Structure 1
């Protein structure tokens, strides 16, 4: 589907510039979820139909980040997906992360302090240069949520590889608009309710096969079984041989809403979304006298921004006088110009 045709699948109220907080569902996702809710309300169907959305979502996510679906696990939140990786770190392991890192990709490792796991933080711009022989894992966000800064992905991965360190990437603020290959890292986690425009409670993880061999699926239940329908009761342990062994039982209705949104993004192509989103972000930056950038998330200083944006009907994140505006498929030139008029 062409991007222009895809954009007709949203009818947002003007002024939503806050996808970095949560994304808006396209019409097919909204319709699918409403139909499932109606069926649930009256007991019209069984759960197996809803469950098909999990497989569809997994396949679409794998396509978006360039990995086999067999290497993708599903979950509910970024930190939950990362938990088995943190637990698999050896006693006394050393983790390197940006000081600005979002805690979903920090707390799982900090929680291992009782085993001697230590986390060292440095400014994000210094991350690649700070990797050394003592580093066991480098953890960072592909796009920083507060500022929109895009990490030096290739450079940081290369530095980690040169020192034999693992790489764990939180791509929550990148996946859906920024093209990248998850396979360059060892682990990539994404909470899907932002740029993938799924309901909250949907998350994905890519785990490289070599990494999975070190990890224990401690949260395994029936949904992690080699055959889900043969895993309802009793021993022995019979887990899937691929990344599904780290799946948790899905909240089905959320996945019903996720599958159409991810499939639409995969059909349009992330490269086209990148060009559209960043072009709007740069229109916003240039309109405020700032140089253009390479991110769909931008942060600018604007005194009195909260009141001025609210009066204009613009919904963006404002913290300590700094505006974080984020632009996605349903954002428009009119949205940008309305925000500029309010701030200038």
Structure 2
């Protein structure tokens, strides 16, 4: 499906420029969710059909970030998926993080006893990696201002010093192409650019990293054969990344699987060109140079109030208006915002 065809699957109210807070579901995702809810309400089916969406979504995520499906765990939130990574660090480990990192990729390291955390400006992260660094954790795209990380530079620096790499790709996965297999862990909350209901998160966990981790939240869904893992010992966990799964919120996965299939159909490079093109149209209208992100921030006096009065929904982060653009965003949305601000 091309981008023009795909865009017919949304009908949002004009002025939604806040995908960095939450994404809007395409019609197939919304319909699938409503159908599952109707089945639940009437009690006319078993859960296995809903759960099939978890496998479909896991596979779609693996393809989006270019990793094997067997290396992907499913969960509910970024911090939950990072917790066993933090627990696997040795006492005395040193973690390097950007100084304005979203706290879901900061608190798991700070809360770990015996681990020290050093912060530096995000654009200096690669240069700050040294022989004393055990793990580098950063966002692929910064939530506060949309800055895109120098992903390959940071990974290269980490590899040169034997450090692990953990990437929160929540604000990039779905519009920004990247090779997740270069990292040791990639975590994504899916309710933004993957347009899921809340309660869906994914983690790529490299095999070498998994060997150091304990699946302390393991339950029946982490079993090698989940249907044979309902009751009693012995421990019989999956041999791959599924051992770090938690039992999924079925309806959220029912809602995300069609959305991710649509992203795959359109193609992330085409989505990136569309999103960044609209972001740059917005910046140009304010007399600012183009950037390479679907998330942009601007300083305009009384901007939040002006946008609200015009019916434009954007966010305020770090004291600045943050606008974000996705498949369903239009030039008319951009012009609506510019008319309010200029």
In structure 1, how many angstroms separate the alpha carbons of the residues matched to 2:147 and 2:242? 32
1:49 alignment counterpart: 49
1:335 alignment counterpart: 333
2:204 alignment counterpart: 206
> In the TM superposition, what is the alpha-carbon distance from 1:323 to its structure 2 partner?
1.0
> In the TM superposition, what is the alpha-carbon distance from 1:8 to its structure 2 partner?
0.5
**TM norm structure 2:** 0.99
2:279 alignment counterpart: 281
Aligned residue for 1:310, secondary structure, equals helix
Aligned residue for 1:261, secondary structure, equals helix
**1:1-344 to 2 correspondence within 5 Å?**
1-112=1-112, 114=113, 116-319=114-317, 322-344=320-342
Aligned residue for 2:117, secondary structure, equals strand
Instruction: Show structure 1 runs of 4+ deviating over 3 A.
Output: none
> In the TM superposition, what is the alpha-carbon distance from 1:318 to its structure 2 partner?
2.4
Structure 1: give runs of 5+ residues left out of the alignment: none
1:78–1:190 CA contact under 8 A, matched in 2: yes
Q: CA RMSD in A?
A: 0.8
Deviations 1:171-209 (A, max 9, x none): 000000000011010000000000000001100000011
**TM norm structure 1:** 0.98
In structure 2, how many angstroms separate the alpha carbons of the residues matched to 1:149 and 1:34? 36
Deviations 1:106-143 (A, max 9, x none): 1111111x2x1000001111111111111000000000
> In the TM superposition, what is the alpha-carbon distance from 1:320 to its structure 2 partner?
6.5
In structure 2, how many angstroms separate the alpha carbons of the residues matched to 1:95 and 1:60? 30
Which sits farther off after the overlay, 198-207 or 301-310? Answer: 301-310
Structure 1 pair 121–216 and aligned structure 2 pair: CA distance change class (3 A): same
> In the TM superposition, what is the alpha-carbon distance from 1:311 to its structure 2 partner?
1.5
In structure 2, how many angstroms separate the alpha carbons of the residues matched to 1:333 and 1:44? 44
Structure 2: give runs of 5+ residues left out of the alignment: none
In structure 1, how many angstroms separate the alpha carbons of the residues matched to 2:98 and 2:76? 24
Give the length in aligned residue pairs. 342
> In the TM superposition, what is the alpha-carbon distance from 1:310 to its structure 2 partner?
1.1
